[in-house]
Amino acid sequence: MAVAYALLGPTASGKSRLALELAARFPLEIVSMDSALVYRGMDIGTAKPGAAERARVPHHLIDLVDPDQGYSAGRWRADCLEVISGIFSRKKLPLLVGGTMLYYRSLASGLDALPAADSKIRFQLNEEAKQRGWPALHAELSKVDPAAARRIAPNDAQRVQRALEVFRLAGKPLTALQGGEKALLPFEMQAFSLIPDRKVLHENIAHRFDAMLDAGLVDEVKSLRQRYRLSAEAPSMRAVGYRQVWEFLERHFNEEQLRERGIAATRQLAKRQLTWLRSFTGMKPAQHLESALQLGSQSWK
């Protein structure tokens, strides 16, 4: 059976750099597993691969939709399966790279039959959050779905919103609807995790956010606000970095606080990603990826 490889890790852990290094030695095509890279025009704050990198190595599932459009994990899974099939047809090895753990789980384990997003209920939840705060809505979630509340951080607005949305639509907790029969993949999946030292990771996060600010992240968000009909609750603007710049432009805090909040939010994201990684079974350390690719590349010869 053909094999697809996945390289997962927290933000700023060096996944993209390692993937490019491996692509120089093996017949790889890179498949993005990042929910922010699907948006066009969001380049600086997502550390999107540049034109030179994408010319050197084929990259997939990048720049798929405008920032004012939706893009779900289910759509990503369908697109990913199609892309991987094409890579196999070219006798290449697919390497999925990213830190959107929900995307990985949707591919490896399948998706549960959950109700579709409802704009009215999302609007209601957003209005409630403005008045009461997301921690208060998280407390509400803990009453109707304690299991979901335990694994979702009180300030993880997107996941708190989705869990409450599902409950209000279905009348059942999100966790009660999860765990059904999953679709089997038509290939084998081997996953590897890249987890740097905590101190090194925090230094990387600070350096990268500073570099994004120097490269013009604030101007990038200004441009997006002018070109598209966006709000602070748009999924694209919830991405770490973009959320903080949006609030800065709304004058919620000053430039120094923007840096502090951006770095803090990125650290929180990395912490959540690491929690997800620890929940996955069968994950191997990234240092074993090269030998796995060596075996995989021999199978095409």
Q: What are phi and psi of 177, to 5 degrees?
A: -95, -10
DSSP string spanning 225-265? HHHS---TTSGGGGSTTHHHHHHHHTTSS-HHHHHHHHHHH
Report the domain count for the chain.
Answer: 2
> Do 77 and 197 fall into the same domain?
yes
- 145 and 287 together in one domain: no
Q: Are residues 158 and 193 in the same domain?
A: no
**What's the whole-model pTM score?**
0.82
pLDDT at position 111 is: 64
Domain boundary (160, 177, 194) is at 177
Q: Domain check: are 97 and 235 in the same one?
A: yes
93, 130: one domain: no
> Which domain CATH number covers 141?
1.10.20.140
Which residue range is the domain that position 30 belongs to?
Answer: 3-111+182-299
Highest mean pLDDT among 9-23, 122-136, 156-170 belongs to: 9-23
Check residues 15 and 169 and name the one with the higher pLDDT: 15
Structure confidence at residue 181 as a pLDDT band (50, 70, 90): very low
What would the pLDDT profile of 233-275 be if each residue is shown by its tens digit? 899 999 999 999 999 999 999 999 999 999 999 999 999 999 9
Question: Residue 91: exposed, middle, or buried by beta-carbon count in 10 A (0-12, 13-18, 19+)?
Answer: exposed
Q: What is the mean pLDDT of residues 172-183?
A: 68
Once rounded to an integer, what is the mean pLDDT over residues 18-46? 97
Among 144, 177, 210, which residue terminates a domain? Answer: 177
Given 159, 177, 195, which residue is the final one in a domain? 177
Strand partners, 189: 4
- 172 and 26: one domain? no
Cα(167)–Cα(145) distance, integer angstroms: 8
173 and 86 part of one domain: no
Are 133 and 210 members of one domain? no
CATH number of the structural domain spanning residue 51: 3.40.50.300
Which parts of the chain are beta strand (E)? 3-8, 28-32, 59-60, 93-98, 188-193, 284-285
